[in-house]
Structure 1
């Protein structure tokens, strides 16, 4: 019986590494690192293998991070007699350590599943078992190779927590959570119940009601890349708006997951009419072709938003293009309370001197943007009053905005949504909404 030979990794050893990884995966001690990470470290970091004849019977793979070294993969083929009857594992660890010695590492560590019982090779090489340690990890939603494409598109990964930060609007949030987020975030669960994850949704409602906020919150909730498409920016492209739009969607297809947002979509999807056809009709036609192609890709959600849903081309909203047509209306009582609470200075809110019920009652019909404007106006008025008071320090809770300041700001704020627009929106819900 020959003793396995220890040598440096060679690209021809990849099949052997794959066999060892698959063998470990089917055991109780499944590898901690994914196969892609193991292969990458074999090629660019440090790796040694144990070879019996021309067969790879063991591997030890490591990488360094500053003064800390990590063993990314360690496995031996225990079905081979020469492996069982020799200290090949300890020898591989010693060879890997010598390989990494020039890096000046202070520590060499290994992560392994709790079910791993064969620690003799590590103990023989001087490793100590550390107790009372916990291992936590998080998979980052955007990988390195996607960042270049994302930058070219002007997209970004939004911060976590935007979904929870949407104040009130509980009815809309519950609807979007059930219809959009859950099927996309839990595709296996959706498949069990025969639910097809949505690919495109239309948000409509009066200006300033939070359609863009919801689109960003959905991307944040899913932890998907957020790409906003601006037709006005694409219009100057030498290929023309239609060509630039197609190129943009082709580049988006390179991302693993993406929420694509087009605001004020009526600019490029309005009713097609007139002879000869206007240049925008070609753009509308192109968009109508792109949506079915977009829908064929998994891990994608197109969100379009419009303030004027009646102006959209009839073919644009038909079944097969948009799964849902969701109304986003004016904030209800709970939403207005949440929005106002977010704008009250912490000291003022803690003192409880502002009549929040009065602010909520007097802003029925206000958009979130209207409430923000009134809140900032009241704060500015209170600051100016404090600066012109004796001493001009503005110290004390009494220097903060009062109920009167807020109500005066509300009275002087012009509502974005008129009664007529609000009434038309209710009609559109009955006539167009698809939930």
Structure 2
């Protein structure tokens, strides 16, 4: 079964755009005439959704001063799918973001049909004309700053894309997302929005994915810092960290992520002192300064929380120390359903897959699912069995998948949860 992909508009797509516009016009008179849509396709910005070499959707936009306008947004009736609509809107926004727009807006007829595809992507209705707009996450003046620190705007649906792990998602939603996205409500109940959080757990359990999902949920820029890259900057790692945090401080909002933070925040001590102790000292100062300003969240992640310097984890530096462990049964089922093709899912014994994947990380399960698909593709291409994939295909792939996390690591993680976690 083919998949829908999003790409930029090509001149020979015009016939398909006309067809989509005419299909939309049969339901309701469009706000923009066909001639305006065609002009924007050729002169401004447009992206299309393609399945089986057929154009099944399009989003067309133009900029006026600091505001972007969607002059056409349409998907064929049989392709109306949340992921296709979200993909078109995200692609159009990324294409227009370098213009430094403050808003992205769309006008729709008063009696237009469902607006779920737009409202699910951050647009809000403003007037009786059903005028919808959404704030662009980064304003013009911040674009260069974000580029300097390697930051980016993530798609808005990463949170929903996290399969399973509902317990962890609920905790992050309650502790991080809610007070940061609704500070007035948090203030009403005396809740201080967090400034820094530590995620810990075995490798491959999704700590980076959760950090990105939180940034996506907040609609804040995501800045990932790589100490190994910064160490090559003039002045060394400590100076590079200080300069990077200074630049981040000029952004209105940001989620800053440091993975494997134990590399620069390990326990201090020893004679002679380790060269990294100066970096750890600098990072401790930077975290304290980072906490003084609103609209930012520092997320650090580690596979070895017990290796961190004690001063790094104390109250006043990190608001929460949150464990991210192996997925439970419900989470494993959701992960399997994410990576198994839809047309295959109905014929599979998911109970067997969930049981057989106990102790695996989300990354392990993804590997097994993709391995099974690759083996099935190879059989079909090489003239072997060309039939729907079955449960046995996935169980065979699981037997060839080496677990990332050992039983000893799982036991140590349980001990760390009891001794170190702060929720």
Task: Using structure 2 for the length normalisation, give the TM-score.
Answer: 0.69
- CA-based RMSD of the aligned residues comes to 1.9
Aligned mates of 1:132, 1:194 — CA distance in 2 = 37
Give 1:412 shift: 1.3
**Offset at 1:346?**
2.0
1:43-192 alignment, distance < 5 Å: 65=64, 133-192=129-188
Match of 2:195 among 190, 194, 199: 199
Instruction: Give the match for residue 373 of structure 1.
Output: 367
Unaligned ranges ≥5, structure 2: 1-62, 70-106, 108-126
Q: 1:288 to 1:132 in 2, by over 3 A?
A: closer
Q: Deviations over 1:240-267 (max 9, x none)?
A: 1000000000000010000000000000
How big is the shift at 1:372?
Answer: 0.8
* Total equivalences in the alignment: 303
SS at match of 1:173: helix
Matches within 5 A, 1:339-350: 339-349=335-345
Match of 1:306 in 2: 302
Distance, in Å, in 1 between the alignment partners of 2:302 and 2:372 is 31
Q: Which has the greater radius of gyration?
A: 1
In the other structure, the counterpart of 2:393 is: 405
Instruction: Give the distance between the partners of 1:202 and 1:190, measured in 2 at CA.
Output: 21
**1-structure distance, mates of 2:376, 2:131:** 51
Q: Deviations over 1:337-396 (max 9, x none)?
A: 1110011112212xx211111101100000011001111111111112222336x8x4xx
Structure 1's unaligned 5+ residue stretches are: 1-63, 71-110, 112-130
Please state how far the C-alpha of 1:306 moved relative to its aligned partner: 0.1
Q: Distance in 2 between matches of 1:360 and 1:299?
A: 40
Q: Residue 243 of structure 2 corresponds to which residue in structure 1?
A: 247
In 1, the alpha carbon distance for the partners of 2:196 and 2:292 equals 11
CA distance in 1, matches of 2:263, 2:173: 28
SS of the residue 1:261 aligns to: strand
- How far apart are the structure 2 equivalents of 1:380 and 1:242? 45
Per-residue CA deviations over 1:266-320 (Å, capped at 9, x if unaligned) read 0000011112212100000000111110000100100000000010011110000
Q: Which residue of 2 aligns with 1:95?
A: none
Match for residue 321 of structure 1 among 317, 322, 326:
317
SS of the aligned residue for 1:137 comes to strand
Say which SS state the counterpart of residue 181 (structure 1) adopts.
helix
| TM-superposed deviation, 1:132 | 7.0
State yes or no: 1:429 paired with 2:423: no
Query: SS where residue 365 of structure 2 aligns?
Result: helix
Distance 1:188 1:353 in 2: 49
Measured at CA, do residues 65 and 187 of structure 1 come closer, stay the same or move farther in structure 2, by a change above 3 Å? closer
User: What's the counterpart of residue 232 of structure 2?
Assistant: 236
- 1:268-287 to structure 2, matched below 5 A, reads 268-287=264-283
The whole-number CA distance in structure 2 between the counterparts of 1:186 and 1:198 is 12
Distance 1:281 1:133 in 2: 61
**Partner SS state of residue 255, structure 2:** strand
Q: Distance in 1 between matches of 2:368 and 2:64?
A: 52
Task: Work out the CA distance in 2 between the residues paired with 1:134 and 1:173.
Answer: 33
Other structure's SS at 1:302 match: strand
- SS of corresponding position for 1:195: coil
In the alignment, the residues of structure 1 paired with residue 234 and residue 181 of structure 2 have an alpha-carbon distance, to the nearest angstrom, of 38
Equivalent-residue separation in structure 2 for 1:180 and 1:296 (angstroms): 17
What secondary structure is seen at the aligned counterpart in 2 of 1:136? strand
Distance 2:255 2:354 in 1: 33
